[in-house]
Chain A
Amino acid sequence: MEISHAKQVINIDAKLTERINELLSHYPADKKKSAMLPVLHEVQDAHDNWLSIELMDRVAEILEVQPIEVYEVASFYTMFNQKPVGKYMFEFCRTSCCAIRGAEDLMDYTCSKLGIKEGETTPDGNFSVVGVECLGACGYAPMLQLGDYYKEHLTKEKIDALIDECRDNKVNLH
């Protein structure tokens, strides 16, 4: 199985290194591997929201583990993308509580508006639409996750506005 042939420009700059070191300081010195998930989050956020093999290899070096240990973990958790994704990834919750309040219709609406199917990215690489499982916002359904934030009590109008804001680069992802 090959995860990805796509290349990624890797840039672990001083600021990111500082943040990684801060995260590492949260765990005993001989338990660096424990920082795996927080470090992968930070690194992914700084690299267009996905992790290439090369990037995971770098994380393995930082955490002093075998590369396979990073691949194993990255592929287990849904929030780590091992392929490039759209800049704005609309992750719709589609579990029961959201589904009965119209999440599926809203996802269909968004897909048709963007001209893509669920799980696809627009040709300009700007938008992806993905259906995900319960995000813990059941009382505020329907909702989606965009970057680090939740957009709740959604309606078609709110989706329209959100897409416009994204196109105007007015949406804060992290």
Chain B
Amino acid sequence: MARKILLEHANVPGIKTYEVYRKVGGYASVEKAIKSMTPDEVVEEVKTSGLRGRGGAGFPTGMKWSFIDKKSGKPRHLVCNADESEPGTFKDRYLMEYIPHLLIEGMITSSYALGCNLSYIYIRGEYMWVYRILENAIKEAYAAGWLGKNILGSGFDLDLHVHCGAGAYICGEETALIESLEGKRGNPRIKPPFPAVSGLWTNPTVVNNVESIAAVPWIVNNTGAEYAKIGIGRSTGTKLISASGHVKNPGVYEIDLGLSVYEFMNSDEYLGGMMDDRPLKALIPGGSSVPVLPAHLIYKTAEGEDRLMSYESLSEGGFATGSMLGSGGFIVYNDTSCMVRNTWNFSRFYHHESCGQCSPCREGTGWMEKVLHRIENGHGREEDIDLLWDIQRKIEGNTICPLGDAAAWPVAAAIRHFRDEFEYHVRFPEKIKNRDHFVAEPFEKVKHLVAKEVI
């Protein structure tokens, strides 16, 4: 069994309540930090741990903390990004639903490290029942003296509240999240200034993912050096992976970074192999925004090395033959799924979620969706495939926030690795009339129809 850091107590009965959580050693990190450490020492521990942001970008958390502007003397804020909306990702919800106090403990310790006296957890509005669980847990923490004025007699004050969104993927982008927390439309801000200098109400602000903050208590209790021992290379610690799609055991798993993709996919401790034992066709390892991997690049990199669940190994080969760990949304596709339909599905998602502020994303996402919809429904033209490639290329890198890139990458990767499927859709429209066209006749069986002619 792999070590559990975040989910260690997830199965303890009643762990949702303060009493049980406290009984298994909860809130120890707050005591340790406040009583025996300076805020800078806590930041140092997190730096040493090598913990990288678990929301998707993988930026070192300790480094992000050290950027917060302490000179201006303005109030500082820590905002927890619980707006988990990346398709394929549902790990934060699991943490908050089952061990709400772990996040609250992490928020207190982290707020202490950053010198914040007013912090927020921004949770997506659809998780309304989790919002209530957190509200309740925060009330318990206030009652037990972990929040409020003069915590543990140290003179450190902290108010923590939970704030709910209302259905907008874009609010997972940190500046859009801040706008939304200010009661506005979730339009990302233009950076610089970065939130660390001017964030919530123009005060210095740090925005961290739920999982990153939930790892802080363990790091403070056991030291950053211990945390850094887990994992592989610069991918330290454990990571929650949310697995979905055509696998036997979908769900949330905590793994040591560096586990091989093969073992994660096939061992009974984790996913237990493919559902109905059908062949594996494609994998998206880090949420819908990262490039899809075709079967031959999943277990081995292009160099022939074992593919591991780590930031480095998953991106081995760049976008040509690799992908990204992203948020850990592990989506598995078998041979019945259609990559064109799937790409259209994601394009619809990004079109729906574009905030509409900058022109490449506002116009480009809709255009891609329309072209993909045409191809998927048998009205594609041969030149549409190149057109799609060109549209995604023109969105990528030219937008205010990363949503443009996130919309472009899946399309690029699908064309790169599954171009023959697009050609099949264009050339044999009668064969793809039904949306489950590859269920009865997987693409493998008809692939020869679009094979390059050898003279």
Which residues of A are at the interface with B, using a C-beta cutoff of 8 A? 26-28, 31, 33-38, 40-41, 63, 65, 69, 72-73, 76-80, 94-97, 99-101, 104, 132-141, 145, 148-150, 174
- Which listed residue (B86, B129, B184, B337) contacts A149, Cβ 8 A? B129
A-contacting 9-mer, from B33-41, B159-167, B224-232: B159-167
Q: What B residues does A97 contact at CB under 8 A?
A: 87-88, 244-245, 331
Q: Is the CB of B167 within 8 A of A96?
A: no
Q: Is the CB of A96 within 8 A of B346?
A: yes
Q: What A residues does B180 contact at CB under 8 A?
A: 37
Number of interface residues of B (CB under 8 A): 55
Q: What A residues does B183 contact at CB under 8 A?
A: 33-37, 63, 65, 69, 73
Q: What A residues does B234 contact at CB under 8 A?
A: none
Residue of B nearest to A135 (CB): B126
15 further A-B pairs in the complex, CB-CB below 8 A; given A28-B201, A95-B87, A95-B345 = A26-B163, A33-B182, A37-B164, A37-B166, A73-B183, A76-B186, A77-B186, A96-B331, A104-B435, A136-B85, A137-B90, A138-B87, A138-B244, A141-B244, A149-B129
Q: Is the CB of B90 within 8 A of A138?
A: yes
Minimal beta-carbon separation of B334 from chain A (angstroms): 8
Does B352 count as interface, using CB distance less than 8 angstroms?
Answer: yes
Q: Is the CB of A79 within 8 A of B126?
A: yes
Asked whether A76 and B185 contact (CB < 8 A) given A41-B125, A139-B243, the answer is: yes
Minimal beta-carbon separation of A85 from chain B (angstroms): 14
Does B127 count as interface, using CB distance less than 8 angstroms?
Answer: yes
Q: List 6 A-B contacts (CB under 8 A).
A: A28-B201, A31-B182, A94-B345, A97-B88, A100-B342, A134-B349
Q: Is the CB of B168 within 8 A of A96?
A: no
- Which listed residue (B161, B166, B244, B342) contacts A77, Cβ 8 A? B166
Q: Is the CB of A136 within 8 A of B126?
A: yes
Residue of B nearest to A72 (CB): B185
In the complex, chain B residues 179-217 whose Cβ is within 8 Å of any chain A Cβ: 180-186, 201
Q: Is the CB of B182 within 8 A of A136?
A: no
Contact with A along B81-108 (1 / 0, CB 8 A): 0001111111001000000000000000
Complex Cα–Cα for A148 and B131 (A): 10
Q: Is the CB of A76 within 8 A of B168?
A: yes
Does B288 count as interface, using CB distance less than 8 angstroms?
Answer: yes
Q: What B residues does A28 contact at CB under 8 A?
A: 118, 201
Residue of A nearest to B288 (CB): A96
Q: Is the CB of A77 within 8 A of B333?
A: no
Asked whether A140 and B250 contact (CB < 8 A) given A79-B125, A79-B126, A100-B333, the answer is: yes
Does B329 count as interface, using CB distance less than 8 angstroms?
Answer: yes
Complex Cα–Cα for A36 and B179 (A): 11
Does B6 count as interface, using CB distance less than 8 angstroms?
Answer: no
Does B24 count as interface, using CB distance less than 8 angstroms?
Answer: no
Complex Cα–Cα for A140 and B292 (A): 21
Q: What B residues does A72 contact at CB under 8 A?
A: 184-185
Does B252 count as interface, using CB distance less than 8 angstroms?
Answer: yes
Complex Cα–Cα for A76 and B188 (A): 13
Complex Cα–Cα for A174 and B129 (A): 8
Q: What A residues does B366 contact at CB under 8 A?
A: none
Asked whether A77 and B167 contact (CB < 8 A) given A34-B181, A104-B435, A145-B126, the answer is: yes
Q: What B residues does A104 contact at CB under 8 A?
A: 435
Q: What A residues does B125 contact at CB under 8 A?
A: 37, 41, 77, 79
Does B58 count as interface, using CB distance less than 8 angstroms?
Answer: no
Complex Cα–Cα for A36 and B163 (A): 10
Does B251 count as interface, using CB distance less than 8 angstroms?
Answer: yes
What 8 A-B pairs have minimum CB-CB distances, sorted nearest first?
A36-B183, A78-B167, A77-B166, A138-B244, A139-B250, A148-B128, A33-B183, A79-B167
Asked whether A95 and B349 contact (CB < 8 A) given A36-B183, A80-B166, A140-B250, the answer is: yes
Minimal beta-carbon separation of B137 from chain A (angstroms): 15
Q: Which of B124, B163, B183, B345 has most A Cβ within 10 Å?
A: B183
Q: Which of A80, A100, A145 has most B Cβ within 10 Å?
A: A100
Asked whether A100 and B90 contact (CB < 8 A) given A31-B201, A77-B167, A77-B168, the answer is: no
Contact with A along B354-388 (1 / 0, CB 8 A): 01000000000000000000000000000000000
Q: Is the CB of A100 within 8 A of B246?
A: yes
Q: What B residues does A36 contact at CB under 8 A?
A: 183-184
Residue of B nearest to A94 (CB): B345
Does B323 count as interface, using CB distance less than 8 angstroms?
Answer: no
Does B263 count as interface, using CB distance less than 8 angstroms?
Answer: no
Q: What A residues does B44 contact at CB under 8 A?
A: none
Asked whether A136 and B244 contact (CB < 8 A) given A73-B184, A100-B342, the answer is: no
Does B169 count as interface, using CB distance less than 8 angstroms?
Answer: yes
Complex Cα–Cα for A148 and B128 (A): 5
Q: Is the CB of A139 within 8 A of B346?
A: no
Contact with A along B319-343 (1 / 0, CB 8 A): 0000000000101010001000110
